[in-house]
Amino acid sequence: MNNMKSLRREPLSDTKLLMTITISIFVVMYLMAIGFLGGGFLHAQQVFDMLNDNASLIIVSCGLTIVMIGGGIDISVGAVTSLVVMSCVLYLNDGGNIFVAILLALGIGLAFGVVQGYLISYLEIQPFIVTLAGMFFARGMTTILSVNPQKVTHEGFTSLRDVKIEISWLGYTAKNGNLVPARIELGVVIALICVIVVFILLKYIRLGRSFYAMGGNQQSALMLGINVKRTRFLSYVICGLLSGISGFVFMMHTGAGNATNAAGMEMNAIAASIIGGTLLTGGVGNVAGTFFGVMTLTTIKKIVVSSGLNDPWWQNITTGGMLCFFILLQSVVLGRRNGKKRAS
């Protein structure tokens, strides 16, 4: 009997269960899109285009996932991304160096992460209030830098932006008979590296496990000897740093800066994290689920556009409906799971 019990498979944790649900729904939705709409959904380039368009969102969502796992929130990430874009565009157009522009992007993101993290962690001000102020400040600073759209004219950066990774065997044959190779932007490579690094941090490094402990139960985390204030501070520092990286990747994709850049990105990042299985209450989440949350959100929008509903409000309505669906699904699944645990 003891041997039989030891051979039983352990039930999935809440994090793995919600991530599995998200991945399954993404696969089903994409297969449905292929079945009903066909066209571009049959080509690998459709997936690559989704990645190219959302590389910066994936990076920001990774940062928000860390903060949300720790029981916090950061609604300034979109505005910080916009500020980074405009700052780097103006610096490069003024004859700046690409390497220094990267350091500028990281410095801006890190500065917001440090200041906001300190106010939230050590002065114990509500995260929503602090990051709301950070959002307004970053938006204001972006407008001060330039009200008008700015295109990057730096030749070195333009050459870097035009670099594409071609994968011939995943390409497709066009109507004229020519082979069109699949193309991935450098920003996607950076985004995937960020996902892998954050995944390793959360799963294998002590700091990552401390985020889960802090978000699950702060008092228990204190009893385990975790420095909760420092851990929360570091979660916002990492989130700010990822926002800086996101800004540079966003600029690599668009090649321009605008005061309205990345508008609403923070809401999309929060939605992607929730769809990916991260709970707003903290303690549950996985960056792999967040990645598929971004892809699920993007697939929905692609399906809406491909269906002929090109007006932007249809995408917003669909996003809101998907978000409500996943929140209800999480509540039902975790509620029944916890009920069974109590019953046993």
Q: How far apart are CA 178 and CA 155, in angstroms?
A: 31
Asked whether residue 261 is domain-assigned, the answer is: yes
3-state secondary structure of 182: strand
Please, what is the Cα angle at 233 between 228 and 238, to 5 degrees? 125
Strands 256-257 and 150-151: antiparallel
Asked whether residue 8 is domain-assigned, the answer is: no
Nearest residue to 66 (alpha-carbon basis) of 218, 251, 209: 209
* Number of domains the chain contains: 1
The secondary element (H helix, E strand) that includes residue 172 is: strand 164-173
Asked whether residue 18 is domain-assigned, the answer is: yes
Asked whether residue 340 is domain-assigned, the answer is: no
Which domain range does residue 175 map to?
Answer: 14-32+40-335
Asked whether residue 6 is domain-assigned, the answer is: no
The domain spanning residue 234 has which CATH number? 1.10.3470
197 CB-near residues (< 8 Å, 6+ apart): none
Do the beta carbons of residue 286 and residue 16 sit within 8 Å? yes
Asked whether residue 149 is domain-assigned, the answer is: yes
Give the alpha-carbon dihedral of 74, 79, 84, 85, to 10 degrees: 140
Alpha helical stretches, state H, 41-97:
44-69, 77-93
**Residue-level pLDDT, tens digit, the chain, 344 residues:** 444 444 344 456 777 888 888 888 888 888 888 877 666 677 788 888 899 999 999 999 999 999 999 999 999 999 999 999 999 999 999 988 999 999 999 999 999 999 999 999 999 999 999 999 999 999 999 999 988 888 998 888 888 888 888 887 777 766 666 666 788 999 999 999 999 999 999 999 999 999 999 998 888 889 989 999 999 999 999 999 999 999 999 999 998 888 777 778 999 999 999 988 898 888 888 999 999 999 998 888 888 777 777 777 777 788 788 788 888 877 777 676 566 556 55
Q: Which residues pair with 167 in a beta bridge?
A: 182
Asked whether residue 25 is domain-assigned, the answer is: yes
Structure-block tokens of residue 160: 């870097």
Asked whether residue 331 is domain-assigned, the answer is: yes
